Amino acid sequence: MNRFVFEILPIVFIAIVLVILIFRWKRRRLYELANKIPGQNGLPFIGHLHRLLNPDMKNYCKVIFELCDKNFPLSKGWIGPKFTVLTQDPDTIHAIYNSPHCMNKPTILYNALYTKQGLLSVNGAMYDKHRKIFNRSFKPSILQKLVPVFNQKSLKCMEMLKEQLNKSEFNMYSYTGACSLEAFGTGQLNFEKNFYESDVLNAFEGMKPLMMKKMFRIWLNIEPLYKISRLYKDLQKEYNVLVHFKNQVLKKNLEENLEEKDEIFVKQLMDKKNELSDEEIIDEVVIFLIAGYETSALTLSTILLMLAMHKDIQKKVTDEVDQFFEAEDGMIGSENLQNFPYMELVIKETMRLFTAGGIIARETSEEVNLSGYTVPKGTVLAICAHQMHRNPRFWGSDANEFKPERFNSENIKHINPHAYAPFSGGRRICIGYRYAMMFIKIFLIHFFKNYNVSTSLKFEELEVEMTPTLNIAQGYKIQIQKRS
């Protein structure tokens, strides 16, 4: 037996060496180009992957931001065998967003989102098909008709918040999350549900850390390995809650005449159900639910936290609300939203400092020239919008301070127009950015008509974590007081 092992070991060793040599030979063009791009290679074979296996969600940001900051305008790294180029340069990011060769999302990462057939993950012709179907649901004429829903759900949230009056600090995200889900459910899914007492929001939140674990455990892209993992069972448990909710939505809408529902999301889904697979329908409902509520809920919670920390700015917002919001029925019309210019500065400044989509990944489908370097085909491009939005070379020495006035007409003209991209850009720009801005404004107007806000958290102590969106690690702890 020992003799057999002794004889077979050299053969195994030679076989492994041959596999490695063949693997590297086939990728010689990639290595040739990668060696010309500045940055760190990390450890042999695994690159920087070992640093991303720590499940602390603040660690993900720390590692990615550190790699991005190493070199400018491009910096390289490796996620296992996957070559990665990171950038925070506005002009490079603009070029990526508008290049036909940088449209794809890297499946090695986006498979972790559990919506492989949804708009956020699909590529090529399938992306174009899905985008064309759902663009209609977010056009201005449809959004105008959703304004009463935004008012209704915001007013309900104001009532729900009364239970927190003059009490200790609470997590505002639980309220903005439920409100945002209800607004999307009623407005775009034609489905009424009380999300303040629902397991759907908990399932979304429960999936976040699990998806992050799966994202950087790249060996779980091998389906048989993934299916026998504990992570699969945990994710499946949360995902089944969303599938059950999806089934309720579709059942209700299949039984109802949607002819008078214009072109809302669920009507587009029903009209095109013969063109979409069951998996595509499931994934689109789930991904639009997540995208439809999370960005709005995170941004609203962060705005309220920022204003709780900056009382002088909060006073300007409440003065503007008092001046321009006097509707007797308590409802805000879409035509009135333009009357709150300072509030818009606050929203933009918040999204600059705390961009929900602060790290976005693309993948090159061909070799592409970026900032004078030829980037290989199949490269993961890490777009570090969070770093770009806080970089003093673009935003000045006060880049890490909360100053809404930097977005007024006089100041913003001195800023590179590509240096602000909270909703991504190009053909894959966030489909619901107008929806989010309208809902956020309406909610804030109702909030500051009713409440003042304070917090014990300190701005300079805030940290971000990747969940896969960027959240404030300390949470959104605030106190509210009734305005007199």
In terms of Cα–Cα distance, which of 398, 370, 465 is closest to 89? 370
What's the CA gap between 445 and 462, in Å, rounded? 26
Q: Scanning the structure block, which residue is given the tokens 């995200």?
A: 173
Dihedral angle computed from the Cα positions of residues 35, 37, 38 and 39, in that order, rounded to the nearest 10 degrees: -70
In terms of Cα–Cα distance, which of 146, 158, 136 is closest to 183? 146
Q: Regarding beta strands 380-384 and 82-87, do their DSSP bridges make them parallel or antiparallel, or are they unpaired?
A: parallel
What's the CA gap between 193 and 187, in Å, rounded? 12
430: annotated binding-site residue? Answer: yes
Residue ranges in 261-370 assigned as alpha helix (H): 265-271, 278-309, 311-324, 341-353
**Strand (E) or helix (H) holding 9:** helix 2-26
**Contact (Cβ atoms closer than 8 angstroms) between residue 219 and residue 49:** no
In terms of Cα–Cα distance, which of 332, 356, 324 is closest to 476? 356
Burial of 301 (0-12, 13-18, 19+ CB in 10 A): buried
User: Chain-centre distance of CA 2, in angstroms?
Assistant: 56
Strands (DSSP E) contained in 90-198 are 170-171
Give the residue ranges of the annotated binding site for heme: 430
Annotated binding-site residues read 430
